[in-house]
Structure 1
Amino acid sequence: MSEALQTAIARQRMLLHARLSDALSRLETACRDAWGDRSALEQSLSKAMERLPYCKYLYLLDHEARQITANVSRGGLLPEHFGRDRTTRPYMADAIAGAAFSLSSAYLSRNNRRPSLTAVQRLTRDDGTLLGYLGADFDLRDLPLTRELYRQSDQWLQLKGDPAIRGALFYQQRVDSLMDGRIDEILDLIAELMRSHGVFHGKLHFSSSRATLWLLDDPYHFRVLDYEDLSDPAICLAYPQRAYPDEAAIPADRVKAVFDQFRELRVMDENIYLRSGSLNIMNGIVSLNFSCDGSHYMRWDEFLDKRLDFWLGSSALTCTEQPAA
C-alpha cells in the first residue's frame, strides 16, 4: 500500500477513534450499575443505540470475553449470540492486553462479508479490577467519516506482472498486429480525439488492435474502437467537437509527443516491447504495459524525459528472468 493511501486511512482512523471512544465511554456507568442483570443490560444497550445511529451491534462480554447479552441491533435483540466466546477474535487482542479503548483494523464481517470495524471499551470496577468489555460493531459504509476523496500519487509506480509471462519473455517475439501496419495514422487520430473531441482518457491495445476511450461528456461509459474504426478518420464525426479543457494536466501540444513515444516503445525490440499504453490528460498520467507484463504509471513529462535505453534496461522493465544458458 502506498504511503499516501496509508496516510489517508490513518487520518480517518484517528478521527473515528476520538469519536467512538467518547461515545462508548458514556455507556460505562450504566453498564456497571446493571452488571449481572442481563435484561437490564440489554435495555441499556437498546437505549444507547438511539444515540449511536451509525452502530450496527452492541453487546457485553464478561472478563473472559464470553458474551453475556444478546447482540443489540437497531431491529431488536439477536439472542443467538449470547454465550459466544470472542477471545480469539482479532479485534479483542488489544482490549485483552489492557487497552482502555481499542479500534480494530478493518475486516470482512463473518455473516454479511462487508468491510467492518469493531470498537471495544474495557469496563472496570471502582477498584480497577476488570469487569468485562463493551463491544460495538460498525459497517464502514455507515460510519461518520469525513469522506475526503483519496488522491492518487503521481509518483512513478512500477509493478511486476505474471511470472509465467516474464519467464518466457526471451522465448517469444513481437508479431506485427493490424494496428502496427497503420500505427502513425491511428496515433494521429487518437491524439486528435483527445485534443479536439472531448476524449480525456485513451488506452491503445497495440497487440489486439483496439482502443478504449473515455469522454468528458460521458465519463461513466467507455467506448471500444476496433481496427476498422481506428483506420477511418471519419470516426471524428461521431464525437462532438470540444475545446481542450483548461484543467488538463498536460498541454494540448504535448499530447502527440506522448503517442509518438508509444510508437517508439512498440518497435524498440523484438522481445521487449509495448503491448498497451494510455494517457489521461486530466491527471497527466501515462500507463504502460510491456511484453514482460510489467506495468508502469508516471507523469507525462517524466515519461517524455526517458530515453529508449532506459526502457530496454532490465531493471526498469521489471523483467528479471533471463533465458537459461
Structure 2
Amino acid sequence: MDSTLKGTIHRQREAIARTLHEPIAQIAGACAAVWSDRAQLNEVLMAGCGHIPSCGALFVVDPAGRQISDTVSATGAESADVGRDRSTRPYMREAVPAWGFLLSDAYVGLVSHRPSLTALHVVRRDWELLGYVGATFISKICR
C-alpha cells in the first residue's frame, strides 16, 4: 500500500475516532453509575444508541470480556448475548490507549460475515476499571 493511501486511511480513522469518542464516553460515564444493574445498563445503551452515527449495536463487557448487558440496537435489545465471551474478538485483543478509547482494526463479523469495526471505551469509577462499552459498525458495502 502506498504511503499516500496509508496516510489517507490514518486521517480518516482519526476523524472517525474524534466523532465517536464523545458520545461513547458519555455512555460509558452513565454506565459507571448503574454498573451493577443490567436493566439500567440496557436503558443507558438504548438512550445512547441514537447519538452514535451509523452504530450497529452497543454492548457492555466486564474487564475479562464477558458481556453483562443486552446487545442494544436501534431496533431493540437482544438478551441472548448476555454472558457471551468476547475476550477473543479482535477488538478485545488490542491495547486500549491511555485516553480510554479504541477504534479497532477492521475484522470480519462473526454473525454478519462483513467487514466491521468496534469502538471500545473504558468504563471507570474512581479509577477502578469496571469494563468497557462497545459500539459495533458493520459495513453496508459488502452484502
What's the TM-score, normalizing by structure 2? 0.89
- Kept in 1, the 8 Å contact 2:96–2:102? The answer is no
Match of 1:15 in 2: 15
Match of 1:70 in 2: 70
CA distance in 2, matches of 1:10, 1:97: 16
| Residue 58 of structure 1, CA deviation | 0.3
- Kept in 1, the 8 Å contact 2:91–2:105? The answer is yes
| Residue 28 of structure 1, CA deviation | 2.4
In structure 1, list runs of 5 or more residues that go unmatched: 143-325
Match of 1:131 in 2: 130
Tell me the C-alpha RMSD between the 2 structures. 1.9
Relative distance call for 1:58 and 1:95 in structure 2 (3 A) is farther
| Residue 140 of structure 1, CA deviation | 3.6
- Kept in 2, the 8 Å contact 1:58–1:137? The answer is yes
Q: Which amino acid aligns with 1:68?
A: I
Provide the identity percentage: 38
CA distance in 2, matches of 1:115, 1:130: 29
CA distance in 2, matches of 1:66, 1:98: 22
Higher CA-based Rg:
1
Q: Which runs of 4+ in 1 moved over 6 A?
A: none
| Residue 92 of structure 1, CA deviation | 1.3
- Kept in 1, the 8 Å contact 2:107–2:116? The answer is yes
Q: Which amino acid aligns with 1:21?
A: H
Q: Does 1:82 align with 2:79?
A: no
Match of 1:315 in 2: none
| Residue 93 of structure 1, CA deviation | 2.5
- Kept in 2, the 8 Å contact 1:57–1:73? The answer is yes
| Residue 52 of structure 1, CA deviation | 1.9
CA distance in 2, matches of 1:66, 1:99: 22
Matches within 5 A, 1:276-315: none
CA distance in 2, matches of 1:18, 1:42: 25
| Residue 41 of structure 1, CA deviation | 0.6
CA distance in 1, matches of 2:17, 2:104: 10
In structure 2, list runs of 5 or more residues that go unmatched: none
Match of 1:46 in 2: 46
| Residue 138 of structure 1, CA deviation | 0.7
Q: Does 1:24 align with 2:35?
A: no
Match of 1:307 in 2: none
Matches within 5 A, 1:156-167: none
| Residue 99 of structure 1, CA deviation | 5.8
User: Residues 17-74 of structure 1, C-alpha deviation per residue, up to 9 Å, x if partnerless?
Assistant: 1111112111122101111110111011011112124100100011221100111011
